[in-house]
Amino acid sequence: MNIVVTGAAGSGKSTLGLELARSLGAAFLDLDTLTNPLLEGLGAELAGGAHWNDPALRPLVRPARYAALRAAVADQAAVGLDAVLVAPFTAELTGGAEWEQLVEATGEPPVVVWLRATPELLAERRRIRSADRDAHVVDPPADSAPLVPHIVVDASLSTTQQLATVRRSLGLGRPLPTDSPVFGRTFAGGLFDLDGTLIDSTPAVNRAWQQLGREFGLELDLVAAGHGQPAAKVIAALFPAELADEALRRVIEIEAAELDDVVALHGAADLLGSLPDSSRAIVTSGTRLIAGNRVGAAGLSAPSVFVTFDDVTNGKPHPEPFLTAAARLGLDPADCVVFEDAPAGLAAAKAAGCATVGIAGTHDADELDADLVVDGLYQLRVVPQPGGGFRLAPA
């Protein structure tokens, strides 16, 4: 399998491509790495000293650069090696003759990963890296997605989150330990975190907190500040006391309306739907308004028991949210398994006495203190038991 990672200059495609190649054990072929040293070396020899990325030189330089990339990937294919290719691929991804040339070089249509970035994000990243070639970049419209089939990845996510998105889309989960004690237990209930476990709302959440930061003149890193914890707790840690109430009101308002690209994660609907309503609950640090809007936007069917920030006095990492959910289901917390993507949520689940399944992606797997760590709910299935309850098994 060959993978193409594409996006505008500054979208982070080289960083993602390198990590993707490393995780797959594939060759890493970056258009810039392969061709820029030669072009920089030619320097003044090119058309009277113009920069090689100048639009006037593009009809000459671009075909040669991509020919070099195609030759390199063809060599990898000839010896049976997969490759991750990184380049803008603006012409190739329209699906015309250039795409056919790329398919011929790779031997089969490659998987296309497109990093979607806002103009503001691109401008800031280019300002930071200050590369000469960026001065000659001509960007396509921000919403000009590839015309060939592709996986969309938000450029504002961390590399860990981006890598998890791609691997989930490809069904490339980590091998699960078949001897995990989680697989040997019978459970009465499944308690599901929402964001990062059942739904992918990270780009929308990031946009909401970035907007909040702009409105209040602050730079906010939500994951570093406490992903999985109630917004009120994060606000208290980031904002002066005199602004906390106003900031909390505003972020709830923004998050409730920010629903673009909120989607169910691979396998979430199937696993949630495989449990009877009397054996499942959603337990989230979000407000009922935000959580309800996101569940609806993702197309999930909400269970009857839905514990939110509005239902508890103490949010995660306190065990109260999971204790409340178990009580509403009429179950002993020790007979429940919790599905969580955040350290704070896993700490809450353990304190409640529940078994835990960590969902890697928002955080690295080694940050998740769970009884079992998976890459997504698609790796699990529910096995109903004749005497009641259910077991989990690898899908």
| Predicted TM-score of the model (pTM) | 0.74
> Would you kindly state where each structural domain of the chain is located, as residue ranges?
3-155, 181-200+263-394, 202-257
What was the pLDDT predicted at 299?
94
Is 195 one of the catalytic residues? Answer: yes
Residue 318 phi, psi (nearest 5): -70, 145
- The dotted CATH code for 3-155 is 3.40.50.300
Helix (H, G, I), strand (E, B) or coil at 270: helix
Catalytic residue from among 30, 154, 193, 371: 193
pLDDT in tens, 109-143: 999 999 998 888 888 888 877 666 666 666 666 56
Rounded distance, CA 214 to CA 46, Å? 43
pLDDT exceeds cutoff 90 at 57:
no
**In this structure, are residues 201 and 294 in contact, taking their beta carbons and an 8 Å threshold?**
yes
Asked whether the domain spanning 181-200+263-394 has the same topology as the one spanning 3-155, the reply is: yes
Q: What is the pLDDT of residue 47?
A: 59
Question: Residue type at 194?
Answer: L
Model confidence at 229, in pLDDT bands (50, 70, 90)? confident
Encode pLDDT of 287-312 as tens digits. Answer: 999 999 999 999 999 999 999 999 99
Superfamily of domain 181-200+263-394: HAD superfamily/HAD-like (3.40.50.1000)
CA atoms of 299 and 281, how far apart (whole Å)? 16
Q: 143 an active-site residue?
A: no
For residue 268, pLDDT beyond 80:
yes
**How far, in Å, CA of 297 to CA of 265, rounded?**
12
Mean pLDDT over 362-371 rounds to: 92
Q: Which of 195, 311, 335, 341 is catalytic?
A: 195
